[in-house]
Structures are given as structure tokens and as C-alpha cells.
Structure 1
Amino acid sequence: MHHDHRETQSMQALVAEALRETTDLARKEMALFRTEVSHNVKLLVTGLVAIIASAVFAIATLVLLTDAAVSWLAEALNSRPLAALIVAVVMFVIFLILVLYGRSKLSSATLEPTRTIRSVEQDKDVLANRRHA
């Protein structure tokens, strides 16, 4: 009977240790998740700022340079409509490059907490191996 009591205490100690390790592991995974999400949110904000900057750039460019560029080209080409078209195409290409750059920073993969997912999968494998051992 004394032997059964010792086994019970040993089993309780193992369960308690497993619970402590599981709690500690969950705490660490949550910390990793928070850190990774915070980093991903910063990337998201960077992407949004780039898109906003591209819009501001496009508008400012249209307002400040269109008239001067069109006037200069119109003199060289002797055609104001052709000059306006050339200037508009160049400014649109610049705008498009900036929008595509900003959109690339907003990809859905940017928001996925990949390190946390990988870590949780590794933890799951370790726990499964412990159970089978």
C-alpha cells in the first residue's frame, strides 16, 4: 500500500509538471504570437502609408507639374493636346509603380503569423512524441 501511495504521488507530480510545462509553453506561444502580429501590423501600416503617399504624389504631380510640362512640350511639338497626353502617360506610370509597391506590402501573407504557426506545429510534434514514448 505504501508503494501505491508513492506511485500516486509520482503520477501527481508528473501531471503537475506537464500542466506547468503546458502553461509555460502556451504563455511563450502567445508572446511570440503578439510579437509577430505587432510586426505584421507595422508592415501593414507601412504598406498603407506607401499607398497614401503614392496618391498624394500623384495629385501633387498633377497639380504642380502638368501645366508646366504640357506648356513646355506644346512648344516643342506644336501641339498642346499631344503634349498633354504625353505628360499624363508619364505621370500615370509613376503613380502605377507606387501603387503596385504599396499593394505588395499589403499581401495577405504579410499578416500571417508564420513563425508562431511553425512553433506551435513543432510543439505539437514534441508533445505527440512524448505521449507515444
Structure 2
Amino acid sequence: MPFKEVRETVLVRTLSDVLVAMTDLFRKEMMLARAELGENIKAGVKSSVWMIVAGFLGFVVFLVLVEAAIFGVASLGLALQWSCLIVAAVLAAVAAGIYIYGRSMMPETLAPVRSMREMGDDISTIKEQLT
């Protein structure tokens, strides 16, 4: 009889330790997921700002092209319209470069993929240990 009581006590203590460790592990995993999500949102905002800058420069390109068309019609001179077109081409190249840079900074997903995968691994490990 004493052996059975000891075994049950050890089993209860072990299960209690496992539950405490599991709770602590999930709490830490949630903190990690929150931090990862914050980093992904920060990167998303940064890349969005660069894409907004590219959109603004694209609008400036449109205005310069309109200005080139107006000067071309008004003056029918070659030099003025060509200078406007050269400026528009340079601004278009800058806008394209900024857009590509902003797009490359955007993370593929904002979800905390690594933390979710680790939580799944933790759950699998706990299931294996309990069976």
C-alpha cells in the first residue's frame, strides 16, 4: 500500500509540474508571438510609407508629363518639351526605384509564422510525453 501511495503522489506531482511548465511555455510563446507580430507590422508600415512616396512621385511624373504636353502644344518648339520629357523620365525612374525598394522591404505575411510553428511543436511534444 505505501508504494501505491508514493507512486500516486509522484504521478500527481509530475502532472502538476507538467501543467505548470506547459502554462509557462504557452505564456512565453504568446509573448514571442506578440513581439514577432509587432516587428512584422513595423516592417509593413515602413514599406507602405515607401510605396506611398513612390505613388506621390508617380503623381509628380503625371503632372510633369501634362506640363510637357501643354508646353509642346503652346510653343511647338523642340527644346522646351524635350526638357520636360527628360525630367519626367528621370522622375519616373526614381519613382520606380523607390517603389521596388519599398516592395522588397514588405514581409510576405504579418502573421507570427515561426511562433505558431513552435507552439504546434510544443503541443506535439507534450502529447508525446503524456502518452
Fold shared by both chains (TM-score > 0.5): yes
Q: Give the aligned partner of residue 14 of structure 1.
A: 14
Local SS of the residue matching 1:108: coil
| Gaps in structure 1 of 5+ consecutive residues | 72-76
* Distance (Å, rounded) in 1 between the aligned partners of 2:57 and 2:82: 23
Between Structure 1 and Structure 2, how many residues are aligned?
123
Cα deviation, residue 10, structure 1: 0.6
C-alpha root-mean-square deviation of aligned residues, in Å? 3.2
Determine if contact 2:61/2:88 at 8 Å carries over to the other structure: no
After TM superposition, the score normalised by the length of structure 2 is 0.71
Q: How does 1:83-98 map to 2 (within 5 A)?
A: 83-98=83-98
Aligned sequence identity (%)? 26
The offset of 1:31, in angstroms, is 0.3
> Structure 2: how far apart are the matches of 1:107 and 1:86?
34
CA distance in 1, matches of 2:24, 2:98: 45
Aligned-residue offset at 1:85? 2.6
TM-score (norm 1): 0.71
Aligned position for 2:115 = 116
The gaps in structure 2 that reach 5 residues or longer are: 72-76
The yes-or-no answer on 1:105 pairing with 2:88 is: no
Counterpart of 1:74 in structure 2 is none
Q: Distance in 1 between matches of 2:63 and 2:32?
A: 47
Give 2:74's aligned residue.
none
CA distance in 2, matches of 1:61, 1:81: 14
